[in-house]
Amino acid sequence: MYTYAHTVEKFIPAPPEKVFAVLSDVAHHDKLAGSGEVKSIRVLTPGDVHVGTEWEADKEITVGKQTDKFIAKSVVKEYDEPTVMSWTSTPPIPPIPRRIQWWYHLTPEQGGTRVSEHVEVDFGGAKNLLMKVPYQMMRAPAVAAGMKRTLDNLAEKASATSD
């Protein structure tokens, strides 16, 4: 059980390899993230992205009238080019979720790629019940809208790099 989960899908008229190349370029996730909350990225693990790759994101999130600036650490949990990439993200501000995990699944289709983006926010145990309604009211609309814009950004960048 978790506090929040949401999935969005989009057809992108580019092959999975092109879409995955954009998605897996974590150093540029600040330009990909549709929320506008990711301000900059620092990749902490040298070399190609793989399970265990870590990065930090300078983030700025507004909930109600309060804006919090912080650094969230992300770690790649699944990486199977060009079909799936997943990572966890840990914000340092309370209440700290046990897990926030993002998944991107890429499926080849005629003329392009079907991309499914999924997020789960897990505060752990009874906190999931306590946080469900406040999260739905205060964060869920922004998260869902940001996910849609992220896929729009991914489509634009992947299509621009297609041959």
Contact criterion met (CB below 8 Å) for 77 and 51: yes
Distance, in Å, from the CA atom of 32 to the CA atom of 162, rounded to the nearest integer, reads 17
pLDDT for the residue 160: 81
Element (H, E) at 137: helix 126-138
Model pLDDT, residue 162: 46
Q: In the chain, how many domains are there?
A: 1
Q: What is the pTM of this model?
A: 0.93
Range of the structural domain that residue 84 is part of: 4-160
In angstroms, rounded to a whole number, what is the distance separating the alpha carbons of residues 149 and 115? 13
Q: Which regions of the chain are under pLDDT 50?
A: 162
DSSP string computed for 15-43: -HHHHHHHHT-GGGHHHH-TTS-EEEEEE
Position 133 scores a pLDDT of 92
Q: What is the pLDDT of residue 2?
A: 87
What is the spatial order of strands in the sheet that 4-12 belongs to?
A: 4-12, 112-122, 99-109, 84-90, 66-80, 54-63, 38-43
pLDDT of 23: 97
CATH of the domain at 86: 3.30.530.20
The pLDDT score that the predictor gives to residue 142 is: 94
